[in-house]
Structure 1
Amino acid sequence: MIVNDPFLYSGKLYLIPTTLGDNDPLEVLPASVQKHIERIDTFIVENEKTARRAIKKLVPSKSQPSLKLFTLNKHTDPADIPSFLKPCIEGTDVGLLSEAGCPGVADPGAEIVKIAHREGIKVVPLVGPSSILLAMMGSGMNGQNFAFNGYLSIDKSARKSEIKNLERLSLEKNQAQLFIETPYRNNKMLEDLISILHPATRVCIACDITLSTEFIVTKPVSEWAKTKVDLHKRPTIFILQKDF
């Protein structure tokens, strides 16, 4: 039997994207995001200070004292997380605000979205910038089949093994492999890719996406070995694909 309305409560969870850097929000966010932030006062955020700054930048007239913020990050007690959705159960809309980009994608907000589905709360994702998708769009690699792998190991031996395995998977599955690194280790990551991968394997470096310093370039490892680029502390997506 198909249930016409599977949602138990009138309050909804809105997944609200933010900019990927310090630029004008309306350059990369649709007006609908601004409209929802104008009317919503309860938010689940990763960091209260940066969330307040993002809200103020998008809606300067919004009363900051009226905001009710729940913090969801690695320090949050898992037992407390379900209570963040109590306003939805009581009929009030809640916004899940990402620290950068889209909530729930490489983001701790995925846990609250899972709970919302379990509890019968309607989830409404809003359009916004995703560094993962924008990097894929600009890479020229296989947008029909790709995988995001998050962070690789910091252990040297395990890291080498993971990079070789991603290269193997990219060839066997014709699948672009995406991953990220802590920004202050980006240059070391590029050095590792150059030393570990086959010279003809393609690597895309996509950093500072949507910013004035945006850099998205794809070329073989052999060419990266001849290229000087400073990725230090610049948010970066790495993509690799072996085609032969």
Structure 2
Amino acid sequence: MKDTTAALYIVATPIGNLADISARAIEVLSSVDVIAAEDTRHSKYLLQHHGIETSTISLHEHNEQQRSELLLTRIAAGESIALISDAGTPLISDPGYRLVNMAREQGIKVIPIPGACAVIAALSASGLSAERFAFEGFLPPKSTARRQALQSLENEPRTLIFYESPKRMVASLQDMLTVFGGERKACLARELTKMFETIVTLPLAELVDVVINDANHQKGEIVLLVEGQSTVVDRDEAEEVRVLQILLDEVPLKQAAAITASILGIKKNKAYEMALKLQQK
């Protein structure tokens, strides 16, 4: 039995540049009993590049349920197994959820080996707010469903992050322009860490033009980011006072505050405190 503890290791691999892998990831991949890979043919180039001779077994969306049962049985018998995807951190729009979920349900130790992730790499260099963000994965392929998905996010204040395929990228950007408006900033991050890495952040109207007029921007691995909806500015306090004064002449204080909060979209506590002050004058 190898030195690696019997467990499931979730190992992040490079998203392009083969040098973007940690020493710990190489050590784990070299010492586990088997590596579960999304595509063993794809992963062999990374493993060969780093001199990793560990055997591999496929785990993808079509065999994950059956293969997970087999892998967990092996871990229960004392083996150690690493999970990798074709690129980046496993489970982020990649297979692996069933395996990890089943492992935790069975009390099997799951150990993350962090590293590259296209979502975080794109966000860090986009110039958009990274304080709060929402990763939405891939948008629906059909325009109607895609627009509906975007409309549900129209007022989301967090930075929005999507993966998109080259063949749908222009259509998705155009739908974003329709839903979010031309002034909303957006970022195209493509081929991250690779030779033709491109990161362009512009208002959506300008970004759509740039992408349409340069076919090179429509190729490769793509991350799209859109800034969140700006926080709604506070309403004029004079308007809040005016509504409260009208209502206080007709209904009890608590009810006046609740109605004002509902009409103006402010917090009930704030409306109640203002109503108290007005009543005490």
User: How do 1:28-177 residues align onto structure 2 when only pairs under 5 Å count?
Assistant: 28-59=20-51, 62-63=52-53, 67=55, 69-76=56-63, 78-169=65-156, 174-177=157-160
TM-fit CA distance, 1:198: 0.7
Query: 1:13 aligns to what?
Result: 8
TM-fit CA distance, 1:142: 2.6
* Preserved contact between residue 103 and residue 110 of structure 2 (Cα < 8 Å): yes
Query: 1:202 aligns to what?
Result: 185
Residue identity matched to 1:212: M
CA–CA separation in structure 1 for the residues paired with 2:61 and 2:192:
25
Greater shift, 139-148 or 71-80, is seen at: 71-80
Q: Deviations along 1:16-64, whole A, 9 cap, x unmatched?
A: 122212x3x22x11111111222223111111211222211222xx44x
**Aligned to 1:166, what secondary structure does the other structure show?**
coil
Query: 1:235 aligns to what?
Result: 221
Name the structure where helix makes up a greater proportion of residues.
Answer: 2
- Alignment partner of 1:189 out of 168, 172, 183: 172
* Preserved contact between residue 70 and residue 84 of structure 1 (Cα < 8 Å): no
Unaligned runs of 5+ in 1: 1-9
Residue identity matched to 1:13: L
CA–CA separation in structure 2 for the residues paired with 1:51 and 1:82:
22
TM, length-normalised to structure 1: 0.83
TM-fit CA distance, 1:80: 4.0
**Aligned to 2:152, what secondary structure does the other structure show?**
helix
* Preserved contact between residue 173 and residue 208 of structure 2 (Cα < 8 Å): no
CA–CA separation in structure 2 for the residues paired with 1:58 and 1:188:
39
TM-fit CA distance, 1:168: 2.3
* Preserved contact between residue 64 and residue 99 of structure 2 (Cα < 8 Å): no
CA–CA separation in structure 1 for the residues paired with 2:90 and 2:148:
30
RMSD: 2.0
Count the aligned residue pairs: 223
Unaligned runs of 5+ in 2: 232-281
**For the pair shown, which has the larger CA radius of gyration, 1 or 2?**
2
* Preserved contact between residue 145 and residue 176 of structure 1 (Cα < 8 Å): yes
TM, length-normalised to structure 2: 0.73
* Preserved contact between residue 186 and residue 231 of structure 1 (Cα < 8 Å): no
**Aligned to 1:186, what secondary structure does the other structure show?**
helix
**Aligned to 2:205, what secondary structure does the other structure show?**
helix
* Preserved contact between residue 205 and residue 239 of structure 1 (Cα < 8 Å): yes
Distance of aligned partners of 1:206 and 1:87 in 2 relative to their CA distance in 1, 3 Å threshold = same
Identity of counterpart residues, as a percentage? 25
